[in-house]
Amino acid sequence: MNEYRICIIEDDLIMGEALSVRFELEDYQCDWFKTGTSAIQAFGNIKYDVVICDIQLPDINGEELFKRLKATEANLPHFIFTTGYGTIDRAVRLLKLGAQDYLTKPLDIHALLKSVRTLCTRAQCTVTRETMLGISSAMRNIESLLPRIAKNPTSVLITGESGVGKERLARALRSQYDPDQKLPFVTVNCGALSESLLEAELFGYNKGAFTGALREKRGLFELADGGTLFLDEVGEMSPAMQVKLLRAIQERQIIRVGAETPINIDIRLICATHQDLKQMVELGKFREDLYYRIHVIHLHIPPLRERKEDILWLAERLLADWNTGNSDPHTLPKHVEQALLNYPWPGNIRELKHCLERACILSQQTELNTELLFDGIPTPLMETENAAESLSAYIQACERKYISNCLQGNEGRISDTAAALGISRKNLWEKMKKLAL
C-alpha cells in the first residue's frame, strides 16, 4: 500500500462504501466518514493528502466544513467536492475558497481517480495569492505542471493572446525552482527592438564595436547567467537573429558584438509569443530547427473569454490592489459583475486591469458602473439587441475601440501604444490596418 491517504466524507452508504473499496483496490489508504463532525475531529490527528467531500451532509454543509477547517488548520489537504446538485456559482465559490476540483453526481470514477492521482503526486509547494494563476480548470492544470517542469532546466514555450499573462506564468515557474528569487530573471520584448539593437541587448558589445559604443556592455545572456532569460514575443525576431539565437542555445556560448572570444553561459530559457509558430514554420517565417529547440515544453494560456471563472476572481484581486490604502474602497455590484462575465475581453487581463483602473479613477461613487468600465464600448448588457451580430464581429468591435482608446491616451504614438498593449509595433500596424484605424 502506498503512502497516500484519502479522506472520504459521504453520508450516502452505497456511494461511500463504493468509493472506499475502489480506493483501497487502487492501493490508497482510505478513511470514510459519514458526518462532517466526525471528519473534523479526525483532522487533528491524521494527515490526509486528498479529501473527497460531499456538499449535502446530515450535520453540516460541506462548504461550511471547508471554511471551518481553513480557519483552524494551517495546511489543508487538497479538497475535491462532490454533489448531486451542482451549480456554477457554488463551484466558483468553492474554487475561490481554495478547493481543487468540483464534480457532480453520478461521478465519473475514472475522472475522479485521475484527479486524485494528480493531486497526490503534485509536489508540495506553497500557493499564495501572489503565485496563484487562476481558479479555472485550465489555469489550475497549468499550475499543477509547474513543479514537475521546474525540476528540469529545459526550454519552455508559453503561447497565448496578448495580455493573457505569459510573463506572470514565466515568473510563477521561476518561483518553483527559485523560491527565494536569488537567481537572475532577465526579460526582453523581442518585438520592441530593431534587429541591431536586439543583438546588442542580447549578446552585449565591446568598446568601439560601433559608433556610440563608448564602453563595454554585458548582454542579457550574460546578465541571466545561472538564472532565467525570458524572451517575450520571440516570433517577432528577424531570420538573422533567429540564426544567432539558435547558435547561442545550441553551443551555450555567446560572442559580444565586436568581439571574437566566446563566453560560456548557463541559462534556463523561457520564450513566449502570441503567434502560431508552427504555422510560421510552414510559411517559412520561423526557423524549424529553432522552433524545436524552444518548443520542448509547451504551455498554452487560453484567452480570458474561454475561462470565465477567472474573470471575477481576477477583478476582485485587481480591485483589492487598487483599494489598498484608499479610504473609500470601490466595489462591483451584481449587474456589473454579470457585464464583466459577458464581455469578450479582446485585450484579456491587461484590458480588464485598464478598465478597472479607469473606472476607479473616474468614479465618484464606491460602486463602479458599466459606463465607466467599458468607456463607450457597447456593453454586453445590450447583447439581446445585437443577437444577430456574430461573435467575431462583436470581438472585433471591442478590440477596435480598445486600441483606439489606447492610441488616444498615448496621443497617437505607435511605440508607446504598442508597449501599453504588450505587442510589437509591427503587430499594432497590422491590427490598425485590419480594423481600419
Domain ranges of the chain: 5-121, 137-300, 305-434
Helix (H) or strand (E) holding 30: strand 29-33
- Mean per-residue pLDDT over the chain, rounded: 85
CA distance 298 to 10: 39
Kind and range of the H or E run holding 263: strand 263-264
- pLDDT number for residue 385: 42
Q: Which pLDDT tens digit goes with each residue over 21-56?
A: 999 988 898 999 999 999 988 887 788 889 999 988
Terminal-to-terminal C-alpha distance of the chain: 65
**Model confidence, pTM:** 0.68
User: Cβ–Cβ contacts within 10 Å for residue 209, how many?
Assistant: 16
* pLDDT cut 70: percent of the chain above it: 91
pLDDT for 387 beyond 50 = no
Task: Report residue 376's pLDDT band, with 50, 70 and 90 as the boundaries.
Answer: low
Same fold? 5-121, 137-300: yes
Burial 354-384 (b: 16+ CB within 10 A, else e): bbbebbbeebeeeebbbebbbeebbbbeeee
Residue 10 confidence (pLDDT) above 60 = yes
Strands 217-218 and 204-205: antiparallel
Q: Return the CATH fold of 137-300.
A: Rossmann fold (3.40.50)
Q: Are 60 and 86 in contact (CB under 8 A)?
A: no
Where does 297-409 have alpha helices with state H? 309-323, 334-342, 348-362, 370-374, 391-409
Q: Is 274 left (phi over 0), alpha (psi -120 to 50) or beta?
A: alpha
d(CA 366, CA 360): 8
Per-residue pLDDT tens over the stretch 256-292: 998 889 999 999 999 999 999 999 999 999 999 999 9
Cα–Cα distances in Å, from 223 out to 183, 193, 257? 10, 18, 15
Cell of 50: 486528498
Give dist(CA 50, CA 345) in Å, integer: 35
CA distance 11 to 55: 10
Residue 304, pLDDT score: 94
Closest CA to 320 of 97, 140, 129, 128: 129
Contacts of 159 (CB under 8 A, 6+ apart): 166, 272, 273, 274, 276, 277, 298, 299, 300, 301
What value does the mean pLDDT take over residues 69-82?
A: 80
Nearest Cα neighbor of 163 from 278, 302, 291, 357 is 302
Instruction: Give per-residue pLDDT as tens, 198-250.
Output: 999 999 999 887 777 788 889 999 999 999 999 999 999 999 999 999 999 99
Which of 312-326, 360-374, 381-395 shows the lowest mean pLDDT across its residues? Answer: 381-395
Which CATH fold topology does 5-121 show?
Rossmann fold (3.40.50)
For the beta sheet containing 50-54, the strands, ordered from the edge strand earlier in sequence to the opposite edge, are 29-33, 5-9, 50-54, 78-83, 101-104
Residue 218 is placed in which grid cell? 554585458
Of 171-180, 301-310, 400-409, where does mean pLDDT reach its minimum? 400-409
CB 282 within 8 A of CB 243: no
Gap between the Cα atoms of 222 and 265, Å rounded = 7
| Cβ within 8 Å of residue 223, ≥6 positions away | 184, 186
pLDDT of residue 1: 53
DSSP 1: -
**Domain made up of 305-434: CATH architecture:** Orthogonal Bundle (1.10)
SS3 308: coil
Instruction: State the pLDDT at residue 411.
Output: 78
Neighbours of 234 (CB within 10 A): 27
pLDDT at 211: 78
Q: Is the per-residue pLDDT at 99 higher than 80? A: yes
